[in-house]
């Protein structure tokens, strides 16, 4: 089958969905300039009314998306880098996320926020390296974090078709990776995790760019006689609770491998879910391998020390599979 | 006010512009050679703005900078060995390797930090200016930001705060005509400097390729601020000859033409200033060559120092988060 890069898969999803539904339009910074490739060709195909370059006004363009949604459109709002969601926090959390309930269900807010290059590496430093999806989860915004090109396309299509705000976090480390991607449009339903590798001793739950790393660790641990299963939630809210519980129940052990901050992070939430639901099946404590709760320092050795690593994951697995 | 530049000061302005230009050109080389990581935004072409502005400041004045901050830092007195060490992630860098290109700071020099978030420094400059004013000190806070920043909410909020509280602040908009690929005229309906009027603040536009014009306008604004006359806004018309960031060299973006870049290059601030000094008989070609050679030596030595400098200790990654630490915080990423 055809192999596409993650960004090309996103690009194809944008094209196919905008082709299908004239109510979809996209806005953000340097969308027309097409810095990375995911917005390639959109301006030529769909014209300036559906492909908007905004001023550097994050709060305003998020609110703009909310208003356009109320008026019947389906905006895609792109954040050039992940931490820019902080600039628009009120419009996201206090407005877009709450509007439907506050209005007693009078409107839907079908906006997709594509949050690009989340969790960046290699010297992006304090303000450009966060993985801020737990903020969305805490605020109750539907949240997706596709780990590969196939999921990137199928989940972007679902996000765009969803009738609520959806945050789509595209991990920096995945953007140039290739995978098999069918040309015809396809939608991967929200709330369906996936076992990316079968195993019997321990289930590693990995998010975004951690999935590829977990698969590598799983491969190398087989030589130590440890059979590692890798489960990818794909969507964090809605979370496939059945899926994760049965994956963990099967192995009796769980390690959560997540590149977001530790305190109140996705791993913390998942860990308590597992304790609540599958405590009786667990044969060892749940382990979390996350980011440290520090701003990411610029210098390479400090950055590496603060981020979850394959070595850290392997050690966590050994510590409970001994 | 008749503002004169002494011959020594004029030569120093040249030297600093040249140092910035060559520093930035070295940054590109070192990024390409993988000696500098991360994202670096060179200011090649814009040197007259930081030099004109900072020449009008005292050492105890403060400034906030941007993602394109190397020039601001050099102009405010930043030492290039510590800058290169920072860019190379070394413990001896300005921020002990924690900040990198987008966060270089030296509070003792009044450099309240480059910043990776557009306009984030503007309200901080207001806060500092408020402190100076309320303590009765005649110090001034300057904030640099790009043309792209003038549509940010923070720009408007900070401008208004400075105006209503009559703060000793000077806002310097470096209008290099683009925010990444977005031409300024596509996102602003009025000449940028006229926005100052709506906040009740003096605003003007100057030729940002002319260091004297930038200096003169800033001197006036700074004097006004020191004398209790409140904030000012200066738009400097300038241009970056290079990409938005170093990586743009390898990207196929076509938001501007080679001809346009060439037109601005013909108005180069450094060449223009050297030509004026020599033309006026203040300076000779030989003296210029001596300054240029000294700049090269200074940079060569700084890079050599940075290359030898030690890396931070891996185990220190939890340091500097809090002024006071409590056991177990900040949390590590694993409990093993
Ligand atoms: C609030 C915010 N939005 C977006 C970005 C991403 N970004 C980094 S630099 C830049 C363009 C800034 O343009 P301008 O202010 O004109 O400064 P210049 O790069 O031209 O020096 C953008 C959009 C950011 N860093 N901060
Ligand atoms: Mg600009």
ipTM field: 0.95
Q: What CATH number is given to the structural domain containing B258? A: 3.40.50.970
Size of interface A-B (CB pairs under 8 A): 159
Between residues 61 and 120 of chain B, which touch chain A (CB distance below 8 Å)? 86, 89-91, 95, 97-103, 115-119
Q: A19-73 pLDDT, tens per residue?
A: 999 999 999 999 999 999 999 999 999 999 999 999 999 999 999 999 999 999 9
Rounded to 5°, angle at Cα B114 from B110 and B116: 155
pTM of the model: 0.97
Q: What is the pLDDT of residues B110-140, one digit of tens each?
A: 999 999 999 999 999 999 999 999 999 999 9
Provide the angle, in degrees to the nearest 10, between the axes of the packed helices B269-279 and B7-32. Answer: 150
Query: A160 exposed, middle or buried (CB, 10 Å; 0-12, 13-18, 19+)?
Result: buried
When comparing pLDDT for A1 and B286, which is higher?
B286
Cross-chain Cβ contact B333/A292 below 8 Å: yes
Of chain A, the end-to-end C-alpha distance in Å amounts to: 41
> Which residue is listed with tokens 């400041």?
B57
Helices and strands (H and E) in chain A: how many: 12, 14
Query: What string of DSSP letters covers A115-182?
Result: EEEET--SS--TTT----HHHHHHTT-EEE---SHHHHHHHHHHHHHSSS-EEEEEEGGGTT-EEE--
With respect to residue B314, please indicate whether it lies within any of the assigned structural domains: no
Pairwise CA distance, residues A276 & A221, whole Å: 29
pLDDT digits (tens, 9 = 90+) for A181-205: 999 999 999 999 999 999 999 999 9
Mean pLDDT of B306-327: 97
pLDDT at B307 over 70: yes
Q: What is the reported pLDDT for A35?
A: 95
**B1: pLDDT strictly greater than 60:** no
A229 pairs with which residues across the strands? Answer: A203
Give the rounded distance of the alpha carbon of A204 from its chain centre: 17
**A300 in reach of chain B (CB within 8 A):** yes
Question: Which pLDDT belongs to residue B209?
Answer: 98
Q: Exposed, middle or buried by CB within 10 Å (0-12, 13-18, 19+), for B182?
A: buried
CA atoms within 13 A on the CB side of A288: 23
A128 annotated active-site: yes
Contact B251, A35 (CB under 8 A): yes
Query: Could you tell me the residue ranges of all domains in chain A?
Result: 3-180, 194-321
Question: Is the CB of residue A176 less than 8 Å away from at least one CB of chain B?
Answer: no
Long-range contacts of the stretch B225-230 (C-beta < 8 A, 24+): B225/B129, B225/B140, B225/B167, B225/B168, B225/B169, B225/B170, B226/B138, B226/B139, B226/B140, B226/B168, B227/B138, B228/B166, B228/B168, B229/B166, B230/B162, B230/B163, B230/B166, B230/B167, B230/B168, B230/B201
Q: What is the arithmetic mean of pLDDT over A280-293? A: 98
Question: Per residue in A216-246, is it b (16+ CB within 10 Å) or e — as a string?
Answer: ebbeebeeeebbbbbbbbbbbbebbbebbbb
Does residue A56 line the site of ligand 1, with CB under 6 A?
Answer: yes
pLDDT in tens, B19-70: 999 999 999 999 999 999 999 999 999 999 999 999 999 999 999 999 999 9
Q: How confident is the model at residue A322 (pLDDT cuts 50, 70, 90)?
A: confident
**Nearest C-alpha to atom 11 of ligand 1 is from which residue?**
B179
Write down the mean pLDDT value for chain A: 98
Is the separation of the CB atoms in B145 and B175 below 8 Å?
Answer: no
Instruction: Answer whether B330 touches A (CB < 8 Å).
Output: yes
Tokens of B143: 């904030």
Contacts of B37 in chain A (CB under 8 A): 122-123, 298, 300
Contact check, Cβ <8 Å, A299/B311 = yes
Question: Which residues neighbour B224 within 8 Å (Cβ) at sequence distance 6 or greater?
Answer: B202, B230, B232
Query: For the structural domain made of A3-180, what CATH number should be given?
Result: 3.40.50.970
Hey, what CATH topology would domain A194-321 get?
Answer: Rossmann fold (3.40.50)
Please state, in angstroms and rounded to a whole number, the distance separating the CA atoms of residues A177 and A213: 13
Nearest CB among A53, A292, A316 relative to B317 is that of: A292
Cβ of A93 less than 6 Å from ligand 1:
no
For the purposes of burial, counting CB atoms within 10 Å of the CB of B257, is it exposed (0-12), middle (13-18) or buried (19 or more)?
exposed
Total number of domains in chain B: 1
Find the CB nearest B314 among A30, A32, A305. A305
With residue A18 as reference, give the H or E element that holds it: helix A6-20
Nearest atom, ligand 1, residue B150 CA:
15
Evaluated on CA atoms A252, A258, A261, A265, the torsion sign reads negative
Q: How many angstroms separate the CA of residue B54 from the nearest CA in chain A?
A: 26
Q: Is the pLDDT of residue B2 over 80?
A: no
What is the spatial distance between Cα A262 and Cα B119, in angstroms, rounded to a whole number? Answer: 29
Chain B contact for A117, CB < 8 A? no
Determine contact, residues A190/A135, Cβ cutoff 8 Å.
no
Cα(A13)–Cα(A30) distance, integer angstroms: 19
Quick check: is B320 in a domain?
no
> Which residues of chain A neighbour B192 with C-beta distances below 8 Å?
none
Instruction: Domain of residue B179: give its range.
Output: 7-308
What is the predicted pLDDT for the residue at B336? 85
Task: Write out the residues surrounding ion ligand 2, Cβ under 5 A.
Answer: B 146-148, 176, 179
B333, B335, B336, best to mutate vs chain A, most A CBs in 10 Å = B333
Query: Has residue B334 been placed in a domain?
Result: no
Q: So what's the pLDDT on residue B3? A: 78
């Amino acid at each position: 089958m055809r192999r596409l890069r993650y960004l090309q898969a996103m690009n194809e999803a944008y094209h196919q969905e905008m082709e299908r539904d004239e109510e979809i339009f996209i806005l953000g910074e340097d969308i027309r300039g097409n810095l990375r490739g995911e917005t390639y060709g959109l301006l030529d195909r769909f014209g300036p009314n559906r492909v908007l370059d905004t001023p550097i006004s994050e709060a305003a363009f998020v609110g703009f998306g909310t208003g356009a949604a109320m008026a019947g459109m389906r905006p895609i709002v792109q954040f050039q880098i992940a931490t820019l969601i902080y600039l628009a926090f009120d419009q996201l959390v206090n407005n877009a996320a709450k509007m439907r309930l506050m209005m007693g269900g009078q409107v839907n807010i079908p906006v997709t926020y594509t949050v690009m290059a989340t969790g960046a590496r290699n010297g992006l430093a304090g303000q450009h390296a966060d993985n801020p999806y737990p903020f969305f989860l805490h605020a109750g915004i539907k949240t997706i974090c596709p780990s590969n090109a196939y999921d990137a396309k199928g989940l972007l299509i679902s996000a765009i078709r969803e009738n609520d705000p959806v945050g789509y976090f595209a991990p920096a480390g995945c953007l140039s990776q290739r995978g098999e991607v069918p040309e015809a449009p396809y939608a991967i339903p929200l709330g369906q995790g996936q076992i990316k590798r079968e195993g019997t001793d321990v289930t590693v739950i990995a998010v975004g760019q951690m999935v590829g790393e977990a698969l590598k660790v799983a491969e190398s641990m087989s030589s130590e006689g440890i059979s590692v299963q890798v489960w990818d939630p794909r969507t964090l809210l809605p979370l496939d609770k059945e899926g994760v519980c049965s994956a963990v129940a099967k192995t009796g052990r769980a390690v959560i491998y997540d590149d977001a901050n530790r305190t109140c992070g996705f791993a913390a939430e998942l860990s308590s879910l597992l304790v609540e639901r599958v405590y009786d099946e667990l044969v060892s404590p749940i382990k979390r391998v996350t980011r440290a709760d520090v701003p990411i320092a610029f210098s390479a050795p400090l950055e590496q020390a603060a981020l979850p690593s394959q070595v850290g994951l392997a050690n966590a697995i050994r510590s409970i599979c001994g | 006010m008749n503002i004169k530049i002494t011959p020594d000061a004029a030569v120093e302005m040249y030297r600093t512009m040249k140092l910035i230009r060559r520093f930035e050109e070295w940054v590109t080389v070192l990024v390409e050679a993988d000696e500098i990581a991360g994202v670096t935004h060179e200011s090649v072409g814009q040197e007259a703005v930081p030099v004109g502005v900072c020449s009008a400041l005292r050492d105890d004045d403060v400034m906030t900078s941007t993602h394109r901050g190397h020039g601001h830092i050099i102009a405010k007195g930043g030492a290039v060995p510590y800058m290169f060490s920072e860019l190379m992630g070394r413990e001896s860098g300005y921020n002990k390797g924690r900040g990198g290109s987008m966060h270089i700071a030296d509070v003792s020099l009044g450099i309240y930090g480059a910043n990776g978030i557009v306009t984030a420094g503007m309200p901080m400059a207001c806060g500092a200016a408020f402190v100076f004013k309320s303590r009765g000190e005649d110090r001034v806070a300057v904030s640099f930001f790009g043309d792209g920043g003038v549509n940010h909410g923070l720009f408007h909020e900070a401008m208004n705060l400075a105006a209503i509280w009559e703060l000793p602040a000077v806002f310097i908009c470096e209008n290099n005509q683009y925010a990444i690929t977005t031409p300024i005229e596509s996102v602003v309906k009025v000449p940028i400097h006229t926005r100052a009027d709506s906040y009740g603040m003096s605003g003007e536009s100057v030729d940002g390729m002319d260091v004297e014009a930038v200096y003169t306008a800033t001197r006036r604004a700074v004097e006004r601020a020191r004398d209790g006359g409140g904030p000012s806004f200066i738009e400097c018309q300038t241009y970056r000859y290079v990409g938005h960031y170093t990586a743009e060299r390898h990207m196929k973006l076509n938001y501007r033409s080679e001809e346009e870049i060439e037109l601005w290059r013909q108005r180069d601030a450094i060449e223009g200033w050297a030509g004026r000094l020599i033309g006026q008989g203040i300076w000779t070609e030989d003296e210029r060559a001596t300054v240029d050679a000294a700049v090269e030596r200074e940079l060569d030595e700084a890079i050599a120092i940075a290359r030898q400098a030690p890396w931070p200790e891996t185990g220190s990654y939890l340091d500097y988060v809090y002024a006071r630490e409590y056991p177990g915080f900040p949390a590590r990423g694993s409990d093993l």
